Structure 1
């Protein structure tokens, strides 16, 4: 028969059972453009009297806390305390510091191995070497190996210096942030269950990035969505299901009141001060942007990029990207870049020349807004795999947008000197006239046809006394280009090796004594 436990031991175990619990689990993190929503879960044993969530962000927004108990569980008043990490052994921090220290040890070992290799090469130079033709061959081999080892040693020294700077910054940051919020709440449940905690932290966020890749051979335009994510919450999200949402967590749009618009007669003397106008328009202040601390100079490159294929949920008010697997996003670490998917979009690719503003033709991709959510963000433009420029992706109310993929060297462009002829009519008409002629020659240097758009800004009269006669060769498209007054467009496909001349001639007439703006 087993020996009975003393009464004191039974009481001790019972007391421990009232308070002992498993650690909470980080269930999910949703990053917003500004801020993050964090969800944790805690498994409570039957008859548990208190739930405790530790290691919470010191930047936690208290009024965002939500406790979601299972059916049959009651919760009491929430108590939130900020405690130093020294009192919370379960919140062992320093994962980033430990990781950097491990990298430093690996680099140090590699440095010592290089030193041994160099020392061996130096000892070889002092030994007897084979005479004759083999001597020069041996010396050349020693020289190449010594140069290679010295270059590797220099590169390794630079990596160690950069890593030491990063390690010092991480240690400093860890010393400042070594405190956590601890949430405790009384519970009442006979069956136990899983208690969920949802809260928000403002010190996190993500920024959309895009890459447009144009293949000039096929004419296809690929568009890649990307995201740059970072967080400074004080928590380390080392293995967490991560979601990216376009929804703003604190949107103050619509704030303010609309005042009445009143009209009155001004009876004040001219010298008296005027009151402020009665009509006031209120606009909501823009949401604050996440201040991301820039990386120190000389930091090592980001870790190997992992490509994701997320499932996209397009909601009524926002879009959420659910990344597969578990992600790693440490507090205070360098921002990470994530791929949110790729697609091929329909685009009209052509060369464009604007004689009054450009000296060269440019390759343009014209496209309508693709389906889905496309928040404004930085756009990188690649042509045949080479980065040719940066732009801002912003789909406005216009039907189409244009992206420039650099100068089009396949075309030779020649702007002929502008011809100006000015004259005055006789005393009867008392009018002055001017004739202007612009001409351009564009040559297709390739062995394949190239679509071309040439734009010309023609004068537009704003007064009945200003008369304009125009003559184009060849005849441009009818009407103004994209309803822009005076902008005329030639659209043509240049055959291989073809040279085409475009000319515009204007005859301007206005009263001789009139001051005409834009008259040249």
Structure 2
């Protein structure tokens, strides 16, 4: 069972100190703990460490803990028949903790810089050799042309590689300067000590949380227009700034927020009542005494004082709001250093059922767009950045968000396979009746959509029809050809033609509206 940990800096109880002094067995050097598991959440991390204690051990010590760990999240999970006492949590400088010096970020970057410099020097030697070649070294005869082409290609590749090395060196210099600045500050670690009582020894586990870590979901959707196949790759970007060494850690990603959330709140009852009748007041009653107000309106707060501040974490939970929780356990051990570049991870790929068609909205744009229409697939799909690829080419960025809609559309760029033409709109206005009691207007819209390919293309053409919001406004609509029944996706006034255009086919879509309203009415939207 987890043990609740009241964190304190008070000295150990006297009885425990006496028991430690009377121990008959000599105490071994304190063992070092191991990082058992790290679970990254959208707004933090849950970290689990383990310490193996010898028989009759009197104290357990966990060092090199994050200086920003959440103290009230500490949990100790002792082995069977192991007792634990009161916890002490102290913040100590790194100079006093030699066991925490496991290799700094600066030394790692400096080693990379030396390797890059050696690669640059070797490349320069190769380029100098190519520059100083003369005709004496080249074979005469018909093989000369092939040799010159080989030299040209090699020189071009080496120059490209030289430019790439230069860009990598500049980026590495920036990272090294940032790391030196961070490491120049006083590094500190939390050290947790707790008295224990164990005859047989065993494992003591420590679980705690840090909010200086997290991960963000990324998605890559790839559409093959030849087959209509839509595949989605799940990816993750993970980073941490806990100050801890995560050079080789079992890593798990979870869509859970990782911290307690609020409840559903209070549901107030729906109360119905009848107000009592007011007693008639005397006609010449004395006026009530005035009440002094401090320049405030009735019902307003006279004084409000706000204290404290709210710091927005770089790993915000909003991108996961409303989604189901899923865990991703990564194979092997991962390297995720504090303050280093974010780790890019692949979480798998799957094929999603989708309907692919071209959408045309002539009232907005004389262009067609390729659409993948899909329902929410099974599993957890937290909201995140979505990259859209069509036949291997990146065509746009979006946000993956499955909300309450029945269908979701992913737009894979313009569809130049179709030509869209909007014909001139026809308008006609008139008065009806002998006394002209009503005004009328007729509007006709027509569009042409042409399939330029030698294969059929499914097309959806959308039309925004007028909607009456008053009983005296009458609308009579006629469509050619007949659109789908009802409104498109329950959007008010939006009608849809859905057809598959044959190869090289040109199809006309028309909508004719007869509008009628009272002669003296000023109708908004009337053109």
TM-score band, normalised by shorter chain: 0.7 to 0.9
Per-residue deviation, 1:35 = 0.6
Find out whether 1:225 has 2:230 as its counterpart: no
Task: Tell me the distance in 2 between the aligned counterparts of 1:189 and 1:245.
Answer: 35
Residues 302-339 of structure 1 show CA distances to partners (whole Å, capped at 9, x for unaligned) of: xxxxxxxxxxxxxx973211112111111111111211
Confirm or deny: 8 A CA contact 1:214 1:220 kept in the other structure: yes
Residues 441-479 of structure 1 show CA distances to partners (whole Å, capped at 9, x for unaligned) of: 111111211111111111111112212111111111222
Match of 1:359?
366
Per-residue deviation, 1:59 = 1.1
Per-residue deviation, 1:429 = 2.8
Cα distance change on mapping 1:418 and 1:229 into 2, 3 Å:
same
Task: Tell me the distance in 2 between the aligned counterparts of 1:317 and 1:132.
Answer: 72
Cα distance change on mapping 1:500 and 1:286 into 2, 3 Å:
farther
Residues 22-44 of structure 1 show CA distances to partners (whole Å, capped at 9, x for unaligned) of: 32110000011101000000111
Q: Which moved more, 1:99-108 or 1:155-164?
A: 155-164
3-state DSSP class of the match of 1:20? coil
Q: Which of 298, 309, 317 is matched with 1:274 structurally? A: 298
Per-residue deviation, 1:394 = 1.2
Confirm or deny: 8 A CA contact 1:177 1:234 kept in the other structure: no
Q: Which moved more, 1:404-413 or 1:191-200?
A: 404-413
3-state DSSP class of the match of 1:238? coil
Confirm or deny: 8 A CA contact 1:51 1:187 kept in the other structure: yes
Find out whether 1:436 has 2:460 as its counterpart: no
Cα distance change on mapping 1:286 and 1:507 into 2, 3 Å:
farther
Task: Tell me the distance in 1 between the aligned counterparts of 2:392 and 2:151.
Answer: 40
Per-residue deviation, 1:117 = 3.8
Match of 1:240?
249
Per-residue deviation, 1:170 = 1.4
RMSD: 3.4
Q: Which moved more, 1:257-266 or 1:490-499?
A: 257-266
Residues 367-411 of structure 1 show CA distances to partners (whole Å, capped at 9, x for unaligned) of: 111111111111111111111111111111121111111111111
Task: Tell me the distance in 2 between the aligned counterparts of 1:255 and 1:219.
Answer: 43
3-state DSSP class of the match of 1:469? strand
Confirm or deny: 8 A CA contact 1:31 1:205 kept in the other structure: yes
- TM-score between both structures, scaled by the size of structure 2: 0.82
Within 5 Å, give how 1:364-375 maps onto structure 2: 364-375=371-382
Q: Which moved more, 1:260-269 or 1:101-110?
A: 260-269
Confirm or deny: 8 A CA contact 2:218 2:234 kept in the other structure: yes
Per-residue deviation, 1:438 = 0.8
Task: Tell me the distance in 2 between the aligned counterparts of 1:115 and 1:272.
Answer: 78
Per-residue deviation, 1:422 = 2.1
3-state DSSP class of the match of 1:429? coil
Task: Tell me the distance in 1 between the aligned counterparts of 2:373 and 2:339.
Answer: 40
Residues 229-258 of structure 1 show CA distances to partners (whole Å, capped at 9, x for unaligned) of: 111000121111111111112344337666
Confirm or deny: 8 A CA contact 1:21 1:45 kept in the other structure: no
Match of 1:410?
417
Cα distance change on mapping 1:376 and 1:86 into 2, 3 Å:
same
Task: Tell me the distance in 1 between the aligned counterparts of 2:127 and 2:397.
Answer: 45
Confirm or deny: 8 A CA contact 1:250 1:287 kept in the other structure: no
Cα distance change on mapping 1:240 and 1:116 into 2, 3 Å:
same
Task: Tell me the distance in 2 between the aligned counterparts of 1:144 and 1:487.
Answer: 59
Task: Tell me the distance in 2 between the aligned counterparts of 1:474 and 1:363.
Answer: 23
Within 5 Å, give how 1:405-484 maps onto structure 2: 405-425=412-432, 427-484=434-491
Task: Tell me the distance in 1 between the aligned counterparts of 2:368 and 2:356.
Answer: 13
3-state DSSP class of the match of 1:455? strand
Gaps (5+ residues) in structure 2?
1-22, 279-287, 302-308, 317-322
Find out whether 1:401 has 2:408 as its counterpart: yes
Find out whether 1:383 has 2:407 as its counterpart: no
Find out whether 1:343 has 2:350 as its counterpart: yes
Per-residue deviation, 1:291 = 5.7
